[in-house]
Amino acid sequence: MLKIKKILSIIAIVLCIFQLVVLATAINVGQEAINRGAAWSARTFINNGIANESGTITSIEIWAFSEITNLEVATFYSTGTNAFATRDSEAIPGAIAAGEKITKTVDLTIVAGDYIGCYFTGDIEYDTSGFLGTWYYAADLIPSEGTTYSVGGGDAISLKGIGATEEKAGTTVMFTFSSF
């Protein structure tokens, strides 16, 4: 009988402290940073491909066709048909070497449904078909407030944002058993 009470006590203790923890979820936005079939230069681009979650973009991956300088990366949200405003932006110091995927650390706020884009001097790897498309403007629009962009249907630039949602605080549930 004493052994059964000990076992029940152990089970009760395990059940007494129950914690639900919600872990961070990965955020991905944009298109893969790969060697593509074409190149495009010096303009503001927004990749069509929305953020799956809200949180922080902590790194970007980019593939330059020729050396890129003056790189600014931003998260964008829609303000109307082909119109966008920047939510957050960051200048990337130095040059981005051509011919390989480069990863840079950033700290950009993003909301589910936002897009990622950039402005730069140089040439970025670019595809003209088979993707969700891009929006572009032939000037530096980072930051911008509701500017209307041209549409590149089926296009993609080699720019991807990676991050995570905030970890949510756990919930503690206590059960009390007074019958032991």
Q: In sequence order, what DSSP letters do the residues of the chain get, joined into one string?
A: -HHHHHHHHHHHHHHHEEEEEEPP-EEEEE------SEEEESSEEEES---SSSEEEEEEEEEEEEEEEEEEEEEEEEEETTEEEEEEEEEE-S-BPBSSEEEEEEEEEE-TT-EEEEEEEEEEEEESSSSS-EEEESS--SS-EEEE-EEETT-EESEEEEEEPPPEEEEEEE------
Q: How many domains does the structure of the chain reveal?
A: 2
Q: What is the mean pLDDT of the chain?
A: 87
Q: Which domain holds residue 92?
A: 26-164
What pLDDT digit, counting tens, does each position of 71-123 carry?
999 999 999 999 999 999 999 999 999 999 999 999 999 999 999 999 999 99
What pLDDT digit, counting tens, does each position of 158-175 carry?
999 999 997 654 444 444
- pTM of the entire structure? 0.80
- pLDDT for 71: 98
4 and 70 co-located in one domain: no
96 and 18 co-located in one domain: no
19 and 33 co-located in one domain: no
80 and 154 co-located in one domain: yes
- pLDDT for 166: 76
Instruction: Confirm if 62 and 119 have CB atoms less than 8 A apart.
Output: no
12 and 64 co-located in one domain: no
131 and 179 co-located in one domain: no
- pLDDT for 149: 97
173 and 152 co-located in one domain: no
- pLDDT for 20: 38
Q: Which of 14-23, 35-44, 45-54, 129-138 has the lowest average pLDDT? A: 14-23
- pLDDT for 5: 65
